[in-house]
Structure 1
Amino acid sequence: MATERDAVVQRLRDVGLRVTGPRLEVLQLLASGEHLDVESITDLARARLGTLTSQAVYEMLRHFMETGLVRKFERPGRPAVFELAGEAHQHALCSGCGRVANVSAEVPPAPRKGLRGWRMAEAELVFHGVCPDCRQQP
């Protein structure tokens, strides 16, 4: 039976990236399903590896995005967060704390009016609201 680590090793090999301890650690952190910013990824990985710079994490994430392993989600006014690429899904964004959650929702087709000559590549639907934790705060 393959472990989560084995799956991460295989993903790196499938896209032609060298398997290293820091790459494994960063991908395993993202495999948790959380949406993490660079600072959080660096701190969590550094706690396990001993040394790791934010610059190294930025470089890894850039390579991961270029190879389709990782996606970036922009949060206006906050640092971007990253997640493993996988099945298409949408996001909910908390206006209080910036928390991001995955949402299964169908994106409507692009409108025909006003887009003459456009060729759409993709669409993103983001639900903005307040997460349960922020709702409980006074």
Structure 2
Amino acid sequence: MATERDAVVQRLRDVGLRVTGPRMEVLQILTSGEHLDVESITELARVRLGTLTSQAVYEMLRHFMETGLVRKFERPGRPAVFELAGEPHQHALCSRCGRVANVVTAVPEPPKKGLRGWLTAETEIVFHGECPDCRKQPTALA
């Protein structure tokens, strides 16, 4: 029976990346399914590895994105977050805390008018609002 570690090793090998302890640790962290920024990933990896720089994590994530292992989600005004690539899905973004959640929903067809000559590669839908935790908190007065 393959372990989660074996699965991470195989993912790296499948895309032609060398298997290293830091790469395995970063991918292992992303298997949690959370959307994490570079600093969070770095802090979590340091617990097991001892030392690791944010720059090294940025480089790993860049390689992971180039090989299709990881996707990046931009949060306006906040650091981007990363997740393992997988089944296509959309996102919900909390406007108060920046939390990101996966959403599975039907994606509309691109409009026939207004995009003449375009070749649409993908559609991204982001639901903006407040997560359940923020909805329980009182709103700050401006």
Scaled by the length of structure 1, what TM-score is found?
0.99
Match of 1:75 in 2: 75
Question: Are 2:18 and 1:13 aligned?
Answer: no
Indicate the percent of aligned positions where both proteins have the same amino acid: 86
The offset of 1:123, in angstroms, is 0.5
One-letter amino acid of the counterpart of residue 64, structure 1: F
> 5+ residue gaps in structure 1?
none
Output the CA distance in 2 between the equivalents of 1:3 and 1:86: 19
Partner of 2:126: 126
How far the C-alpha of 1:113 sits from its partner, in A, is 1.0
Q: Number of paired residues?
A: 138
Structure 2 unaligned segments of length 5 or more: list them.
none
Deviation string, structure 1 residues 107-126 (Cα, Å, up to 9, x no partner): 10101111111110111011
CA distance in 1 between partners of 2:114 and 2:103 (Å) = 28
AA at the equivalent of 2:63: H
> What is the aligned partner in structure 2 of residue 53 from structure 1?
53
Aligned-residue offset at 1:3: 1.1
Equivalent-residue separation in structure 2 for 1:52 and 1:3 (angstroms): 25
Q: Distance in 1 between matches of 2:106 and 2:39?
A: 32
Match of 1:101 in 2: 101
**1:68 offset after TM fit, Å?**
0.2
Query: What aligned pairs does 1:20-31 form with structure 2 within 5 A after superposition?
Result: 20-31=20-31
Query: By how many angstroms is 1:106 displaced?
Result: 1.1
Moved over 3 A (4+): none
CA distance in 1, matches of 2:104, 2:119: 25
- 2:36 is the alignment partner of 1:36: yes
Deviation (angstroms), 1:76: 0.5
Secondary structure, counterpart of 1:79 in structure 2: strand
The aligned residue for residue 136 of structure 1 is: 136
Aligned counterparts of 1:3 and 1:137: Cα–Cα separation in 2? 40
| TM-score, scaled relative to structure 2 | 0.96
